[in-house]
Amino acid sequence: MDYIKQRLFEKGSLMRAQLQDLLKESRDLIVDEVTIGNVLGGMRGVTSLLTVTSKLDQYEGIRYRGFSLPELYKVLPRYNTEGEPLAEGVFYLLLTGEVPTMEEVEYMRKDWVQRSEVPEHVFRAIDALPKTSKPMTRFSTGILAAATQSQFQKQHRVGLRKEDYWDSTYEDVMNMIAQLPVIASYIYRKEFCDGEVIALDPNLDWSANFAHMMGFNSEEEFKLFRMYMFIHADHEGGNVSAHTAHLVGSALSNPFYSYAAGMIGLAGPLHGYANQEVIRWIKSMYKHYNRTFEEGLSEEEIHDFVEKTLDDGNVIPGYGHAVLRATDPRFITQKDFADKYVQNDPLIHTVNILYKVVPAVLQERGKAKNPWPNVDAFSGSLLLHYGIKDYIFYTVMFGVSRALGVGAQLIWDRFLSLPIERPNSQTLDWFTEYANSE
């Protein structure tokens, strides 16, 4: 058994015992109540899922294994003090709950490099899609096609024992994570560049390799990709992409299927497409005023367009959140990055004005529970600044990163033998009759 699996096995055995004790001692303990408002409100806030990798605090934002983003900057291995946390270390932490050493990060890096060869038919499956296919269609198709490698599926068919499910799930998740930047950059190069594919560099880390294979090779661009992959890696279990992957995995669908399903969920405008929507919306604002980014817009003009968007019955993309009730720390991390590395970018200037204007307008309207920006309000402007102009690709980048958290959780789902999910549903008449009977 390799080193990381050994660590996982030791930890996992203790957690299995913890879970069994919990079930034995406290199976009937009530942790939450469910109202009709919850049922009709997307189960918002109802505690009903077990996620080991991360927890979202409504004011402080995401914590990976208890560490906030600023704390992770201090503890996770980086190539130098000015650098960004390495994805290999993020995954190690999410998976094992332990902060890795640089040696452990290097072990993971080499392991992913070795697992990065994508079967040829994956590219053929992507190529077979019509030209009109969106990048997320290509990406999820690629992941599904890669499922032919699934060791979990093969072993399950020949009678794998339940307590061993985690082992081949681990192999699948590791292979999938290693291959995602190759698949994603293939889509990017084919669709938005000259079609020339760039080979993986075995000396680079996972995030920098993604940048390299997309065609970005400066140290600053590597830092951008490391930061982006780090902040998007996980957001606890109830968001659409993470929950979908967990749900589909609960039917013992293999990790490639489960993750591809999660990616289809990420492709909604209220979730992972919001990073594209932000840029599309800002462009539409400039078009409305017939102005270029360089010519800029005044605070008043931006304010009026925000009001107009709401009056037209649309949401302001990049603002609001189902859980957060403060500015998303992932927004702050990106703003800090921009403040440090980017000077005089007109689009980023607009994003900063929006940060001044939008919360007050949303507060005045009194509808959105959270008037503050989320991660998507900033990410597109940074990517655009560094030359990733085709914003319909942004959600694919988000998706590559999210594999770190969701993949780690899938391994734990199988380690802890979490059962198939099957909440109860009732008809509208049932709810009405129930309400009338009370």
Paired tokens of 103:
């040696």
Residue 239 touches ligand FCX, criterion: CB under 6 A: yes
Q: How far is the CB of 352 from ligand FCX (least distance, A)?
A: 17
Residue 237 touches ligand FCX, criterion: CB under 6 A: no
Comparing C-alpha atoms, which of 9, 52, 1, 17 is closest to residue 408?
52
**With respect to ligand FCX, which residue has the nearer C-beta, 320 or 407?**
320
Q: How far is the CB of 363 from ligand FCX (least distance, A)?
A: 11
Contact pick of 7, 223, 271, 303 for ligand FCX (by CB under 6 A): 271
Place of tokens 């049932």: 430
Q: Under rule CB under 6 A, which residues in 298-317 are in contact with ligand FCX?
A: 310, 315-317
- Cβ within 8 Å of residue 438, ≥6 positions away: none
Question: What is the total count of residues that contact ligand FCX (CB under 6 A)?
Answer: 22
Rounded Cα distance between 200 and 181, Å, is: 9
Is residue 261 within 8 Å of 399, Cβ to Cβ?
no
Place of tokens 């009370």: 438
**With respect to ligand FCX, which residue has the nearer C-beta, 322 or 411?**
322
Contact pick of 112, 259, 319, 337 for ligand FCX (by CB under 6 A): 319
Residue 334 touches ligand FCX, criterion: CB under 6 A: no
Contact pick of 302, 375, 383, 384 for ligand FCX (by CB under 6 A): 375
**With respect to ligand FCX, which residue has the nearer C-beta, 208 or 267?**
267
Residue 244 touches ligand FCX, criterion: CB under 6 A: no
**Own/partner long-range contacts of 385-389 (Cβ < 8 Å, ≥24 apart):** 385/338, 385/342, 385/345, 385/347, 385/348, 386/216, 386/220, 386/221, 386/224, 387/216, 388/214, 388/216, 389/192
Comparing C-alpha atoms, which of 288, 290, 235 is closest to residue 265?
235
Residue 367 touches ligand FCX, criterion: CB under 6 A: yes
Stretch in the footprint of ligand FCX (CB under 6 A) among 282-290, 336-344, 374-382, 400-408: 374-382
Task: Tell me, yes or no, if 376 is annotated catalytic.
Answer: yes
Residue 321 touches ligand FCX, criterion: CB under 6 A: yes
Comparing C-alpha atoms, which of 300, 320, 322 is closest to residue 366?
320
Task: Tell me, yes or no, if 385 is annotated catalytic.
Answer: no
Contact pick of 318, 329, 405, 407 for ligand FCX (by CB under 6 A): 318
**With respect to ligand FCX, which residue has the nearer C-beta, 65 or 235?**
235
**With respect to ligand FCX, which residue has the nearer C-beta, 144 or 274?**
274
**With respect to ligand FCX, which residue has the nearer C-beta, 145 or 267?**
267
Rounded Cα distance between 282 and 280, Å, is: 6
**With respect to ligand FCX, which residue has the nearer C-beta, 138 or 271?**
271
| Structure letter (DSSP) for residue 419 | P
Rounded Cα distance between 104 and 109, Å, is: 9
Query: In 294-317, which positions are buried (b, 16+ CB within 10 angstroms) versus exposed (e)?
Result: eebbeeebbbbbbeebbeeeebbb
**With respect to ligand FCX, which residue has the nearer C-beta, 113 or 404?**
404
Task: Tell me, yes or no, if 28 is annotated catalytic.
Answer: no
Residue 376 touches ligand FCX, criterion: CB under 6 A: yes
Residue 320 touches ligand FCX, criterion: CB under 6 A: yes
- Cβ within 8 Å of residue 327, ≥6 positions away: 372, 373
Of the residues 205, 271, 303, 328, only one is catalytic, namely: 271
By Cβ distance, which residue is nearest to ligand FCX? Answer: 320
Residue 144 touches ligand FCX, criterion: CB under 6 A: no
Residue 374 touches ligand FCX, criterion: CB under 6 A: yes
Beta bridge mates, 63: 55, 68
**With respect to ligand FCX, which residue has the nearer C-beta, 117 or 364?**
364
Is residue 221 within 8 Å of 211, Cβ to Cβ?
yes
Is residue 428 within 8 Å of 276, Cβ to Cβ?
no
Q: How far is the CB of 406 from ligand FCX (least distance, A)?
A: 13
Comparing C-alpha atoms, which of 100, 106, 105, 94 is closest to residue 67?
94
Stretch in the footprint of ligand FCX (CB under 6 A) among 21-29, 219-227, 250-258, 369-377: 369-377
Comparing C-alpha atoms, which of 241, 367, 372 is closest to residue 319?
372
Tell me the H-state helices in 97-164. 102-114, 120-127, 135-145, 151-157
Contact pick of 114, 270, 340, 430 for ligand FCX (by CB under 6 A): 270
Of the residues 232, 243, 246, 321, only one is catalytic, namely: 321
Residue 325 touches ligand FCX, criterion: CB under 6 A: no
Residues serving a catalytic function are: 271, 321, 376
Q: Which residues bind ligand FCX (CB under 6 A)?
A: 44, 239, 270-272, 274, 310, 315-322, 367-370, 374-376
